[in-house]
Every structure is written in structure tokens, then in C-alpha cells.
Amino acid sequence: MDISLKNVEKTFMQTKVEVAALRGVDLEIPSGEFVVVLGPSGSGKSTLLNVMGGLDSVSAGEISIGGKDIASRSEKGLLAFRRDNLGFIFQQYYLLSTLTVAENVETGAYGAKDAHSPLEALRMVLLEEHADKYPFELSGGEQQRVAIARALVKKPKILFCDEPTGSLDEKTGKEVLKLLANIHADLRTTIVLVTHNKAIASIADRVVTLTSGEIVADHQNDKRVSPDEIHWH
């Protein structure tokens, strides 16, 4: 599914002052691409991911995914669209403490027409043996992998990742990135990953750099490396 943004604007009111988070963003992401959106804190990268994923509305501009306009969709329409096509991973894992790992993964498959079984999804993230454990019994990296399995269980066409390694150390962070790289390689899932960590950019097909809500650089990454080869900042 291609993603297309045309002249997207997003403004917030902050203590009676209008703040522009995104300014005239134009972006085309073809299906199956692994894109890293890079930028410092406050550059608008999370906002960009939220509006692309239909989690937040735009102030102006057009967004379409797979040729379907999502900016003008109702909340209900957006919900169904996200359910059928999109997966999300966030910096925090936000798992439900009362449910086991497998059950947490199962929550992500609500209403999916063709979903993996929770165990299949856990196998993809190498956590099959932890299926019956509760989140508090896992490390931070393992919990993030559960969150990835939760996002993958319904076979999304696009995976949006908001600082997925932000709370992890280098070793576990790389494991998570490796997992994402494998998913991209094996399933050809479109991945949009937002990060402030420049090192992560080298694992992507393409790197979009955002500063003060504007795209200041957008280039293909010809020298893709494995997550094992990157140096953490």
C-alpha cells in the first residue's frame, strides 16, 4: 500500500499560541519500503507518524493510503481502516498487565479478517516459549517484542513504529531492529520508523529528515546495513 502526503499541515494551540508541528509536508512512500523518519526532539516526526496512521487529524493537506483518502474519513471509518491495514509500535509497550503474553498478542487481532494465531505471531518475534507468562515477568526488550507481535498478529500492510528502541539499551534495541528488518525482508511489510537516533537510519531503504515540521532531506539509502553493524548513539 502506497502512502501519499500532499502539503500536510498540522498546528496545535499551546497556551493560546498556535504552534505548527508540520508545515507543508509532501511525501510518497511506495508499498514495501522501509522508511526511517529522522529528526531531533520536537521536530514533528511523531506527529507525522500519527497523522499518517490516522491517529490524529491534519489541519490541512491530503493523506492517502493505498489510494484511499484518510484525512477526510470519519473516526469510525479510520478505525476500520487501521484495523484492516495498519500496525503500530510505540516507545512504551503498553501491555495489559492482567493478560498473558499470548493474550496480549491476541488483543491486536480484534476483527482481523485473516490473522496469525498468537503463537505464530510470537514465533515471529522469538517469544513462543514465553506465551503463558505475564508482561511483568519479561524484560523491557521482550515486552517490546510482545508489542511487535501484537502489531503483527493481524498481518498489517503497514507498520508504524514510534521510537521503538527509545526505552531499550543497545543490545536489546538492536534485537528489536533486527526483528523489524526481518519482518520487512520476509513479509515485505511497509515500515515507517520514527527515531531521533541517526544510527538507526542506516538499516532503512530510505531516510526522511524532518526539522521544525518540514522535510529537509529525503534520500534513498544505498548502503543499508544489518542492525548488528550499526553503532548506537
Partner 1 sequence: MRSTGIRIHFLHAWRFMKKRWLSFLLLGVLLFASGFVYTTMAESIAAIRDASEAYFEETNQEDFSIEVSDRLTASEKEHVRDVCGLQTTETLSALSSADSSCHEDILSSRKETLIQVFTGVSLEARLFMDIPLFRDDGNHRMRILNDADSINKSHIEEGNKPLSSGEIAILGNYARANDIALEDEFVVQGETFIVTGFVLFPDYNLPVFDHPFLFDSTKQTLALMSDEDFAMFDAPKRAYFAGVLEEVSASELEGMFDQAAFLTAPFLENLTLTENNMRSGAIYAEIEGGHAFALIVAAFIALLGLLIIVLSLLKTLRANSRPFGVLKALGVPDNALIFPFLALIGIFALLFLLLGFLAGQFAAHPMQDIFRDFYLLPEGKIRFRVVTLVIALALPLTLLLGLSFVVMKRLLGKRPVALIHPALTEWAKGGLKRFRIGSWRLSFLVRMQIAFIKRRPGKFAVFVVGLFGALFAGFFSFGMHDMLERTLPEYYGGTGIEVKAYTEDITFDEPAEGEKVLELSVRVNETNASLVALSEGQTLHPLKDSRGRDLTGSLAEGLVISRGFSDLSGLREGDTVEVTLAGDNLEMEITGVADIYAGSHVFATREVVAEWLFTDPSAYNVVYLSESPEVDYALLVFTDDIVEQLRDTHEIFNVFFRVLVASALFIALVVVYLLTVMLVEDHYYPLAMFKVLGYDNSIIRKILLGGYVKAALLCFVVGIPVALLAFAFTRRWMAEMYEFMVPLAITPVQVLIYFALFLATLFLGTMSAKRKIDKMSLKDALAIYQE
Residues that bind partner 1 (CB under 8 A): 50, 53, 55-57, 75-76, 79-84, 86-88, 90, 92-99, 103, 106-118, 120, 135-136, 147, 150-151, 154
CB of 16 to partner 1, least distance (A): 15
CB of 185 to partner 1, least distance (A): 23
How far from 19 is each of 83, 87, 117, 201, CA to CA, in Å? 31, 28, 44, 27
Contact between residue 176 and residue 144 where contact means Cβ atoms under 8 Å apart: yes
C-beta of 96 vs 185, nearer to partner 1: 96
CB of 33 to partner 1, least distance (A): 21
C-beta of 34 vs 90, nearer to partner 1: 90
CB of 152 to partner 1, least distance (A): 10
C-beta of 113 vs 231, nearer to partner 1: 113
C-beta of 12 vs 232, nearer to partner 1: 12
Give the cell for residue 6. Answer: 500532499
Could you tell me if residue 64 is left (phi over 0), alpha (psi between -120 and 50 degrees) or otherwise beta? beta
Contact between residue 160 and residue 3 where contact means Cβ atoms under 8 Å apart: no
C-beta of 112 vs 126, nearer to partner 1: 112
217 has which bridge partners?
209
In this structure, the strands spanning 206-211 and 190-195 are unpaired
Give the cell for residue 92. Answer: 512504551
C-beta of 86 vs 215, nearer to partner 1: 86
The Cα–Cα gap between 149 and 206 comes to 24
Q: Which of 167, 165, 95, 172 is nearest to 133 (CA)?
A: 95
CB of 180 to partner 1, least distance (A): 17
CB of 146 to partner 1, least distance (A): 12
Q: Which of 34, 31, 29 is nearest to 184 (CA)?
A: 34
In whole angstroms, how large is the CA radius of gyration of the chain?
Answer: 17
User: Which DSSP state fits 122?
Assistant: H
C-beta of 67 vs 136, nearer to partner 1: 136
CB of 98 to partner 1, least distance (A): 4
